[in-house]
Amino acid sequence: MNALDILQYLLSNDLINIFPNLSISLRILLTMPVTVATGERSFSKLKIIKNYLRSTMKQERLTNLSIISIEREISRNLDITDIVNEFSIKKSRKVQFN
């Protein structure tokens, strides 16, 4: 039995006058909004973590781009194909047998 069933039982059997405080408390209980504070807290923590990760990735990228910009002469002398080949060898998932 839930609160609504109890209130309807009190109304149908004319017990409202006998238990006035119970009927008032049941009506208050039924009109109160349900709060989900624990769920909201967990979602807000998730949002904080996502924002932190987003901002740190942006900051890290900005730092790397600024280093490249500052060291412009060195970056102009880099051979992009060698860098791509070296990166692909390190990240390759295939095992090469000789």
**Of how many residues is the chain composed?**
98
94 vs 3, residue with greater confidence: 3
Q: What residues have CB less than 8 Å from 76, skipping those under 6 apart?
A: none
Q: Highest-confidence range of 5-14, 25-34, 58-67, 76-85, by mean pLDDT?
A: 5-14
Question: What local confidence, expressed as pLDDT, does residue 78 receive?
Answer: 82
Q: What pTM, to 2 d.p., does this model score?
A: 0.35
Question: What local confidence, expressed as pLDDT, does residue 98 receive?
Answer: 63
Q: Look at 26-30, 40-44, 61-65 and tell me which has the smallest mean pLDDT.
A: 40-44
Question: What local confidence, expressed as pLDDT, does residue 12 receive?
Answer: 92
Token pair for 60: 């890290």
